[in-house]
Amino acid sequence: MSKPILDLTRSLYDLTEEYPELIPILLDMGLEGAANPILRKTVGRKLPVLEGLKRHGVPLEEARRKLAAKGFHVLGEEDPLEIRKERREQLKEIIRDIHRQANPDELRERFKDLLSDVGATEITQLEQELIQEGLSELEIKSLCDVHAAVFEEGLNNQVVQEEQAGHPVHTFKKENRKIEKIVTSLNELFAKLSQNDFASKENHVAEWRQLHEQLLEIEKHYSRKENILFAYLEKHGVNAPPKVMWAIHDDIRALLKEVSKTLRDQQPNVKDLKETIERTARPAIKMITDMIYKEENIMFPMCIDTLTDQEWAEVAEQSEEIGYLVEPDTGWKPAISAERTVSLNQTPLSDNLSRGAEAEIPFETGVLTQKQLNLLLNNLPVDITFVDEQDTVRYFTFGKERIFQRSKAIIGREVKNCHPPDSVHIVEKILEDFRSGRKDSANFWLHLGEKYVYIQYFALRDENGNYAGTIEVSQDITEIQKVQGEKRIYT
């Protein structure tokens, strides 16, 4: 294998994350900060290694010589930016070739040296750039597994940092181990059903139902990614890859829903069971297994590279609201205090409340304190979300029993990124109609588990008729639909 190529214009953080063995070498050359994990994650994110060497009086040739002695090749001064661009274009061309139906095995062989050290963050950046250049998210989604397969050597060669027990990524991985056990049990069960030709199907179907119910808990895992983790990635400009992954989540959900329909029948026939196994259950667990690989080799390493310690603290705090498949381990402590973590996620209103402020807010029809307003909104029998005129989420109510999952991470998030990719076009059409004045409201109703949910969107306009945003109001109307006659007596 060729020597790893180092571009010293990259940051200290990036290079030492990709090549931890560089730390003692750089320390020997005088970069004391290389050995300090806190400095690497803060100052080191913005400090190019080349700049650090210059500050410590280390000539480039001396650095090149010492690094070469340790098995590294350092790019020269013949404009490393252009070399990086050339490498990036080569990698993007590989992905374009995949979409032109090129043979992945041939691509791996032709570009073996180039592919051997491609990391998670680089793959994510490549896919995002290609989407920005016109490659559709649907195409990326449909060939996402092929991308992972082509870059497999580089992904397997990267040093994946093991997070401390209790860290959000550690919890995600712990959940993945549980999911893998369920998947293994399902595969063993399907093998049994095939071997005895469903002769004992009653017992096996009962076991399948139990395992399937356990697998449905994966919703908590995916919901934390979509509502919290993806929101923080978007704040760092990483938009496209989360959309692709969310779309795959929805495909998995659709398959699991089909399995649920078959298993709901107390006495399913053999034909239906066989078709469900081959056409929905096996594809679902294959997609779930592939998703675990993409999470642990692409998504999570890229998140570790991107999110700050403060943001991980916020992810941990907000994850409690959604819940877990497994109990998180103890031991990990965020770099900031719990009190500070909470305030970072609060609106100015609730932040003032936490300090005991009782300022009064005058309205046209009365006066309320901040505390009263907060209590009033959070105790309405509906969920309310406010999106401003720039299509940015600014507020949502925080009642005890919410219909749709909301996390504080969505505050400041573009509203279209808060919805599954398949429904984004509907959201955009509603906002377009509201903004243009063609419509002032939009209503939907749907079954959500045992709930029957009524969703209303209203355009907000100021006194001059100018569009000022949209509110979404969601309500469980299951019990309301049962109302008949009259009730005039309090009991």
Whether 334 maps to a domain, the answer reads: no
Whether 491 maps to a domain, the answer reads: no
Domain with 15, as residue range(s), is 5-77
Q: Are residues 310 and 176 in the same domain?
A: yes
Is there a contact between 114 and 91 (Cβ–Cβ < 8 Å)?
yes
Q: Are residues 197 and 140 in the same domain?
A: no
In terms of pLDDT, which residue wins out, 54 or 483? 483
Q: Are residues 283 and 185 in the same domain?
A: yes
The CATH code of the domain that includes 422 is 3.30.450.20
Work out the pLDDT band at 93, boundaries 50, 70, 90.
confident
Closest alpha carbon to 394 in 319, 471, 456: 471
Is residue 366 within a helix (H) or strand (E), and if so which, with residue range?
Answer: strand 366-369
Q: Which of 157, 179, 203 is the last residue of a domain?
A: 157
How many C-beta atoms surround the C-beta of residue 169 within 10 A? 24
In terms of pLDDT, which residue wins out, 344 or 376? 376
pLDDT at position 384 over 80: yes
Is there a contact between 284 and 259 (Cβ–Cβ < 8 Å)?
yes
Gap between the Cα atoms of 153 and 48, Å rounded? 27
Q: Are residues 191 and 242 in the same domain?
A: yes
Residue 78: per-residue pLDDT? 45
Work out the pLDDT band at 118, boundaries 50, 70, 90.
low
Residue 111: per-residue pLDDT? 56
In terms of pLDDT, which residue wins out, 190 or 113? 190
Is residue 51 within a helix (H) or strand (E), and if so which, with residue range?
Answer: helix 49-55
- What pTM value is reported for the model? 0.66
Whether 371 maps to a domain, the answer reads: no
The CATH code of the domain that includes 52 is 1.10.3910.10
User: What digits encode the pLDDT tens for the residues 208-255?
Assistant: 999 999 999 999 999 999 999 999 998 888 887 788 889 889 999 999
Mean residue pLDDT across the chain: 82
Residue 303: per-residue pLDDT? 87
Q: Are residues 65 and 97 in the same domain?
A: no
In terms of pLDDT, which residue wins out, 299 or 41? 299
Tokens standing for residue 298: 């692409």
Whether 183 maps to a domain, the answer reads: yes
Is there a contact between 38 and 107 (Cβ–Cβ < 8 Å)?
no
How many C-beta atoms surround the C-beta of residue 382 within 10 A? 16
Residue 294: per-residue pLDDT? 86
Work out the pLDDT band at 432, boundaries 50, 70, 90.
very high
Q: Are residues 388 and 464 in the same domain?
A: yes
Gap between the Cα atoms of 94 and 100, Å rounded? 10
Whether 224 maps to a domain, the answer reads: yes
What's the helix, strand, coil split of the chain in %, to 5? 60, 10, 30
Number of compact structural domains in the chain = 4
> What is the average pLDDT across 109-119?
57
In terms of pLDDT, which residue wins out, 282 or 7? 282
Work out the pLDDT band at 32, boundaries 50, 70, 90.
confident
DSSP class per residue in 200-228: THHHHHHHHHHHHHHHTTHHHHHHHIIII
Gap between the Cα atoms of 65 and 53, Å rounded? 13
Q: Are residues 120 and 136 in the same domain?
A: yes
Residue 147: per-residue pLDDT? 55
In terms of pLDDT, which residue wins out, 124 or 79? 124
Q: Which of 157, 188, 214 is the last residue of a domain?
A: 157
CA 415 vs. chain centroid, Å, equals 15
> What is the average pLDDT across 431-438?
95
Highest mean pLDDT among 93-102, 139-148, 404-413: 404-413
Is there a contact between 343 and 354 (Cβ–Cβ < 8 Å)?
yes
pLDDT at position 310 over 70: yes
Residue type, 167: H
The CATH code of the domain that includes 200 is 1.20.120.520
Work out the pLDDT band at 257, boundaries 50, 70, 90.
very high
Q: Are residues 290 and 184 in the same domain?
A: yes
Q: Which of 126, 157, 188 is the last residue of a domain?
A: 157
Q: Are residues 71 and 114 in the same domain?
A: no
Whether 347 maps to a domain, the answer reads: no
> What is the average pLDDT across 284-291?
92
Whether 119 maps to a domain, the answer reads: yes
Gap between the Cα atoms of 78 and 432, Å rounded? 50
Is there a contact between 135 and 99 (Cβ–Cβ < 8 Å)?
yes
pLDDT at position 403 over 60: yes
Q: Are residues 116 and 256 in the same domain?
A: no
Q: Are residues 395 and 414 in the same domain?
A: yes
Q: Are residues 46 and 174 in the same domain?
A: no
Whether 368 maps to a domain, the answer reads: no
